[in-house]
Amino acid sequence: MLSYIKFADAVSGWFGKMFAWLVILMVAGTSYEVFMRYVLNKPTPWALDVSFIMYGTLFMMGGAYTLSVGGHVRGDFLYRLWQPRTQARVDLVLYILFFFPGVLALVFAGWKYAARSWSYAEVSVNSPAGIPIYQFKTIIAVAGVLLVIQGIAQVMRCLIAIRDNQWMVAEVDVKETEDLLIAQASEAKKDVSK
C-alpha cells in the first residue's frame, strides 16, 4: 500500500506542478490583451476563450494534487475533534459512496464529450476566433483518471489510519508563504530575546 500511495502522490504532484505553469501563461496572455485593448485599441478575439481554457485546465489538473496534500475544502467543525481512526472510517465510507461514483461519472462523461468533440474538431462558439476546444474537453477525462488514481491512494491512507489510528501525511513539497513568514518572525523574535 505504501508504494502505491507514494506512486499516486508522485503522479498527482507531477501533473499538478506541471500544469501550475499555466498561471504564468494566463498572466502573459491577459497582460497582452490589456495592452492591445487599452494602449493600441486593438482587442484580440481570442484572449477570453484562451484564459477560460487555461484556467479550467489548471483547475481540473490540480485536483488530484490538491487531494493528495489534503488541500480540498472540508467542513470539519466536528471531524477535527474525532480520533484519526474515526475520521478514516467516515472518509472511507464517503469515498465509496460519493467520491468514486462522482469521479467515475466524470471520467465516462468526459470521455464521451471529448470523443464527440474530437470527431468534428469542435471550436468555441463564444469568440470570433474559433478557438479549438476539443483538447480542453479531453482534460475532463484525464483529470478524472488522475482523481481515481489518487482516490485509491486516499482509500489506502484511510485503511492505514483505521489500523494505526494515525494519518499518513503526504510529503511536504511546498510551503505556504505565510507559514514561512511566521517561522522567520518567530526566529527573529528568539534572536532578539537572547
Is the Cβ–Cβ distance between 170 and 6 less than 8 Å? no
pLDDT one-digit tens code per residue, 24-42: 999 999 999 999 999 999 9
Q: Which of 132, 148, 121, 4 is nearest to 64 (CA)?
A: 148
Tell me the three cell numbers of residue 62.
Answer: 490540480
| Close Cβ partners of 89 (under 8 Å, ≥ 6 residues apart) | 158, 162
Task: List the domain boundaries for the chain.
Answer: 2-186
- What per-residue confidence (pLDDT) applies to 125? 82
pLDDT one-digit tens code per residue, 88-128: 999 999 999 999 999 999 999 999 999 999 999 998 887 77
- Please state the pTM of the whole predicted model: 0.84
pLDDT one-digit tens code per residue, 52-81: 899 999 999 999 999 998 888 877 788 889
Cα angle for residues 166, 169, 171 (degrees, 5° grid): 150
Is the Cβ–Cβ distance between 117 and 137 less than 8 Å? yes
